Chains A and B, each alone.
Chain A
Amino acid sequence: MSPTAVYLVTIFGLLIAVFTLSAGLIWYERRLLALFQDRYGPNRVGPFGLLQSVADIVKIFFKEDWVPPFADKPVFVIAPAVIIVATLMSFGVVAFAPGVMVSDLNVGLLFFLAMSSMGAYGVALAGWSSNNKYSLLGGLRAAAQVISYEVFMGLSLMGVVMMAGSFNLVRIVQAQERMWFFLPQLVGMAVFMVAGFAETFRIPFDLPEAENELVAGFHTEYSGMKFAFFFLGEYIGISLVSAMLVILFFGGWLGPVLPPLAWFFIKTFIFISFFILVRGSLPRPRFDQLMAYGWKVMLPLSLANLVVTAGILLWRRS
């Protein structure tokens, strides 16, 4: 096959895989949450309820796609697309296995960080263009949350970058041949994980949509496919953060016996399940607590991690 054909196959294969996986994740999350809460969850449509997502998608296609008359129409329509595009773009640099990736970017990690901040625009714009006080509050919270948590999300990854000596995700995985980075970078991993929860607006950091204070937050006014886009964006975001966790701290595709791709998916699924477990167990903090936690605990922690890692690396080299 010509390189272009390989490219196209990878891109479309990835798109299809990510979309079906994210739709399936909705079912997976509901079943898993039910398991943690001593219930069954959706188990009626198809075997084990597997076709529940299909039923949901069919239903959402037939829902009225309504743009409120008071909304800022162009922005209102673009906002959900921004979220989806931003999260999908990051998948372009994710290294699934040797050779199985769209773009072997030499600054892949930076690209991921940049795109995850782009996702915040979608949420903030959705809140703003809805012209609804609850949506606006949700958008404001999203912007504030992402700005604060992004700072140490980037900082927490610098330890990994220093140890691997590269921003390239493939090189970072290859650098973990001898030891996965979560051992020396335990603090960095913890901080990145917390920041990942905040970036994807998952419980316990789902303050932008906090349904018991803000109706549904930034997507209060959305319906039909636009709402589905936000929903899908959230699940794509979860898969993305889990995939990044695996690549940066848990050796990516590395592992014995099984093929690299299988290892990658197994590890990613473990983290997706962890995301869901946390959703089932933790309550949502107050917004000031969220901010204080970010700036007073996580930021110093990631800075300390950065300094200590750099110091040890320099000491070992001299």
Chain B
Amino acid sequence: MISILRSIWLVFLHALHRRVTVQYPEQAIRRPPRFRGRIILSRDPDGGERCVACYLCAAACPVDCIALQAAQDEHGRRYPAFFRINFSRCIFCGFCEDACPTYAIQLTPDFEMSEARRQEMVYEKEDLTISGPGKYPGYNFYRVAGLAIAGKGKGQAENEQPPSDPKTLLP
């Protein structure tokens, strides 16, 4: 009997507590920096596309919502001819970001991407690519990779020594 009255009283006291509801559209909600939301494709610090069209993200994606086509420019640098993410299928698991060797594909804290028509949930490369480097400001894949590319020969990458000449070992 006492416990019943006590629980009624305790519930009544909750009328004086602060409400926990966040009034979402008017009141901004806090999202941590690693929140997994809308996916973007980032660029190198010097403005080139980071994506090397390796297909790793497409292979990692559990729902197969990434479609891309590899191409090569005149310097042998790979890039995606098209890059398409179907956000009506994406489950925002972040596996693509984990798989990417170049930090090109990244998930951002934006999640307000509702559309009236389903076709508009398919984002093309132009919709995905942003102007900056995203979460990894200093990183430039071609500057740390061993591959010779326009403006950077063998052995000119960061932390790389010039290739040794095996002929010097000859007697």
> Chain A: residues with CB nearer than 8 A to chain B?
34-40, 277-278, 280-282
Contacts and interface: CB of A to CB of B under 8 A. Distances in A.
Nearest to B9: A281
Contact of B18 (A36, A38, A278, A281): A38
Interface in B1-58: 4, 7-8, 10-12, 14-15, 17-21, 23
Main secondary structure of the interface of B (DSSP, over half): helix
B19 A38 contact: yes
30 contacts: A34-B19, A35-B15, A35-B19, A36-B11, A36-B14, A36-B15, A38-B14, A38-B17, A38-B18, A38-B19, A38-B20, A38-B21, A39-B19, A39-B20, A39-B21, A40-B19, A40-B21, A40-B23, A277-B8, A277-B11, A277-B12, A280-B11, A281-B7, A281-B8, A281-B10, A281-B11, A281-B12, A282-B4, A282-B7, A282-B8
Contacts of B18: 38
Interface residues of B, number: 14
A282 B10 CA distance: 11
Given A281-B7, A282-B4, A282-B7, A36 B12 contact: yes
Interface of B: 4, 7-8, 10-12, 14-15, 17-21, 23
Given A36-B15, A38-B17, A278-B8, 10 more contacts: A34-B19, A35-B14, A37-B14, A38-B19, A39-B19, A39-B20, A277-B12, A280-B11, A281-B11, A282-B7
A42 to B, nearest CB: 12
B43 to A, nearest CB: 41
Nearest to A190: B1
Contacts of A38: 14, 17-21
Nearest to A32: B15
A277 B19 CA distance: 17
B49 to A, nearest CB: 44
Contacts of A37: 14
A247 to B, nearest CB: 23
A35 B19 CA distance: 8
